[in-house]
Amino acid sequence: MLARLMSDEFRLIHGDCLEVMRGMDGASVDAVVTSPPYNLGIRYRTFKDTSKRVDFLGWCREWASEVRRVLADDGSFFLNVGAAPANPLMPHQLLLALCDGDAPLFVLQNTFHWIKSISVETRDGGLVSAGHFKPINSKRYVNDCHEYVFHLTKTGAVELDRRAAGVPYVYKCNISRWGHTGGEDLRCRGNNWFIPYDTIQRRDKERPHPATFPVALVEQCVRIHGLGGETRLMDPFLGIGSSALAARRMEVKAFTGIELDEHYLEVARERLADAREKAAGDLFGGG
């Protein structure tokens, strides 16, 4: 199975991301999209997500230093981080560890908000609720329906293809009104990305990892970075392979996924194989 899914350009690697990245060439990656352990006590199979905060942040600087080394000078590092209602500072503490102090590794160029669930009042007085709503039992906190995607770069000056992930204008008169549109019915989506999880029937079979992001989130990051199929993409915390699936769907030039847990990596391989079989079935009328 592994041999059929792997090539020099598409690699799924079992190992510690620090060790693997140290063996990679510098500036060999155009975009990194990843979601590391949050240090919020999430129950992973082989990783203890309860380190002391100072130790956790020190470890994050270690692997982020290698991300910086392998990232091209005009590359983008999309860092997905969530928080717990009782621990809201963690994403910001991680951001400061990477971007502040005497030796900052990155510049924060954009902050995107991954919206998982939202309710919007319509102009006719209706209410539309959409997305993935995870209830909590609390009299102190409201439900947390979003996570951060920090867009980090080496210089803070990396040009993006903002409209590659854009949306049509609601009022079409704006197409001619604004000179920057170039006559195209597409505007920047902005920094709020509504991307719900896919509906599943059984978590243990379809989403056996405790902290995943949707494939569409990775695709959005690749689009906005602007290289399309020429992107050399990496995810140092692959999990069950959402970024690998995005890489396959977008037919990027090269992909490297690294995962410490062999079980999660096997699930990622199976998801890739299933996606390829489905694509072949659709191509030849197999449904």
Residue scoring higher pLDDT (169 or 223): 223
Q: Is the pLDDT of residue 208 over 60?
A: no
Position 207 pLDDT exceeds 80:
no
H/E/C letters for each residue in 148-186?
Answer: EEEEEECCCCCCCCHHHHCECCCCCHHHHHCHHHCCCCC
- Write out the H or E segment, with its range, that includes residue 11: strand 10-14
Residue 42's Cβ-count burial label (10 Å; 0-12, 13-18, 19+) is middle
pLDDT higher than threshold 60 for residue 142:
yes
Segment (H or E) for 220 = helix 215-225
Q: What is the pTM of this model?
A: 0.87
Q: CATH code for 2-283?
A: 3.40.50.150
pLDDT category of residue 215 using cuts at 50, 70 and 90: very high
Q: What does the domain layout of the chain look like in residue ranges?
A: 2-283
Segment 182-193 shows an average pLDDT of 88
67/216 Cα distance (integer angstroms): 22
pLDDT of residue 219: 97
43 versus 239: the higher-pLDDT residue is 239
User: How do strand 117-121 and strand 127-131 relate by DSSP bridges?
Assistant: antiparallel
User: How would residue 51 be classed by pLDDT, with cut points 50, 70 and 90?
Assistant: low
Average pLDDT over every residue of 126-142: 88
| Mean pLDDT value across residues 234-249 | 96
The string of pLDDT tens digits covering residues 31-43 is: 999 999 877 554 5
